[in-house]
A and B are shown apart, each in its own frame.
Chain A
Amino acid sequence: MTVAVYIIVMAGVTYLIRMIPFTFFTKKIESKYVRSFLRYIPYAVLSAMTIPAIFTSTGNVMTSVVGTIVAVVLAFFDQPLIVVALSASLAAFLTGLIV
């Protein structure tokens, strides 16, 4: 089997997973419960993806934890996304130079 066939199947499945709910749910959902559920989904997804993965995200627990602390503090004070993201990375990098 050629690699191209794999790639086409892979891309097709991934697209359909996104496209079907996005395209066919055109009406506003009436249920208050479902609407509340969908409002909370982003936070729930991101939280589960971040914890605990962030603590090993640089390949080193020490530099990851320092980066995480920097990100938490800056996010707590409402800093823009890019500031939080790059400061976390810079903190992890600098910590890596020391340890």
Chain B
Amino acid sequence: MGSAFFRGMNHGIPIGLGYLSVSFGFGIFAVKNGLSVFQASAISASNLTSAGQIAGVEVIAAAGTLLEMILVQLVINIRYSLMALSLSQKLDKSFTAPHRLAASYGITDEIFAVCSAQPGMIVPAYMYGMILISAVGWVLGTVLGASAGEILPNSVSSAMGIVLYGMFLAIIIPPSRKKKSVLFVTVISALMSLLFRYVLTMVSGGFAVIICAVLAAGIGAWLFPVSDEEEAEQ
């Protein structure tokens, strides 16, 4: 139990650091839109998501309806359903219903990615360790950004914008190098993402990610079904 928790924390350090910088920006953004430091921090602590929070603050600032808030969150965050479903297949038997209810809170792009890349099954303590350090980074960054957005020089805060993407590359590149099936899926998904970004621009970012991921993984699963041996090695 203890060691899995600390292993999770350890694996969560890059996530926590990345979140610290990203949520710093969120804190500044929230205060600019008329929220207090406490409200901004409460949003970060209760949502633990980047794009959804930014869109949510926009709805609040524009005094939008609750229906609008619900729809915006659904569209932007529905990708978490896909991740949760994928991760549900990788849970150890010790992951009982109360643990699932608790750990659901922390399914973010990054935590999902790092958990998925782990060999073998995931135990609750591992996820809790990772969620804890990530959430601390996320909330702390929000507090700092909201209360003292000007302290960091712009050159530093802008360079931190690449941290999480760098981590994503570190997750997808090594398996892409070793398996042509994974390489195929990542390349197809990236090409479709470019298409949505520059041609089919009427599709929102949240939807575009879902469409790219479902199509790329769907074609990949059709062309390269995962064999039982391959499954065992993960």
Contact = CB atoms under 8 A, between A and B. Distances in A.
B220 A44 contact: yes
Counting chain B residues whose Cβ lies within 8 A of the other chain, the interface size class is 35 or more
B180 interface: no
**DSSP class of A's interface residues: helix, strand, loop or mixed?**
helix
Nearest to B45: A11
A39 B84 contact: no
B42 A7 contact: yes
Contact of A96 (B47, B116, B155): B155
A84 B73 CA distance: 31
Given A23-B101, A57-B162, A85-B18, A44 B13 contact: no
Given A63-B159, A81-B171, 11 more contacts: A14-B80, A23-B97, A37-B217, A38-B89, A43-B217, A44-B189, A44-B217, A58-B158, A72-B173, A76-B174, A86-B17
A45 B224 contact: no
Interface string A81-99: 1111111111011001100
Given A52-B197, A82-B14, A92 B170 contact: no
